[in-house]
Structure 1
């Protein structure tokens, strides 16, 4: 897969991270959405993840696969990217509606709705 590197000054980085945070998505996906001016599979799945988590009652334990149930049909790459991005956003404090609880015996990250 090709890789593109972008260098920003401090001001540009601040603006970019604030814009991504405002939309509640990781910076890389914000950039991708701005370049291609469309939602991709990941952006749609990430927004749906946030919506579903917010709909859970506080205290509910979940993992992403269970959260989606029979809708867990996106590509394997999107599932992996979604898992990493959601964990990063939860552990980084950008997603305040969930808390990571560690991986289960199947190596699947578990969360609780807070």
Structure 2
């Protein structure tokens, strides 16, 4: 995968960072989405919405690929970046999802709906 580097002044970096933050995106995702006008389903907000669709209300653990099912089409490296972003989102926001552990291969984070969301 090609890497593109961009040099910005401190002021432009702060402005770009703020613009990305208002869209709740990384700078990389913000630039990609802005330039190519692409919207992706692979956002923490979309993953939370899908996790709460009723499939996991029985208390079973799930991973991000479980949440997306057949829609899980992202490649391994990018999936790791998205996984870290989702983990941070779950930890930093009250979304009634909790991290449980890593799977048996230590490659995928496992989550479950918090008790409050299962009973509410």
Q: Do both proteins adopt the same fold according to a TM-score greater than 0.5, normalized to the shorter chain?
A: yes
Kindly provide the CA deviation profile for residues 87-107 of structure 1, in whole angstroms up to 9, marking residues without a partner as x. Answer: 35556x3x5535544412232
Q: Does 1:26 align with 2:23?
A: no
Shift of residue 69, structure 1, vs aligned partner: 2.9
Give the structure with the higher percent helix. Answer: 1
Q: Is the 8 A contact 1:101 1:112 kept in 2?
A: yes
State the partner residue of 2:71. 71
Work out the number of aligned pairs and report it: 108
- Structure 2: gaps (5+ residues): 115-120
SS at match of 1:19: helix
Name the TM-score, length of structure 1 as normaliser: 0.64
Cα distance in 2, alignment partners of residues 62 and 102 from structure 1: 10
Match of 1:3?
3
| Separation in structure 2 between the aligned mates of residue 14 and residue 113 of structure 1, nearest angstrom | 36
Q: What CA distance in whole angstroms lies between the structure 2 residues aligned with 1:54 and 1:17?
A: 30
Give the root-mean-square deviation of aligned CA atoms: 3.2
Q: How does 1:75-90 map to 2 (within 5 A)?
A: 75-77=74-76, 78-90=78-90
Look up the SS of the partner of 1:30 in the other structure: helix
Q: Which has the larger Rg?
A: 2
Q: What TM-score comes out, normalization by structure 2 length? A: 0.62
Indicate the residue corresponding to 1:104 in structure 2.
103
Question: Offset of 1:18 from its aligned partner?
Answer: 2.2
Work out the CA distance in 2 between the residues paired with 1:13 and 1:96: 29
For structure 1, the residue ranges without an aligned partner over 5 or more in a row are: none
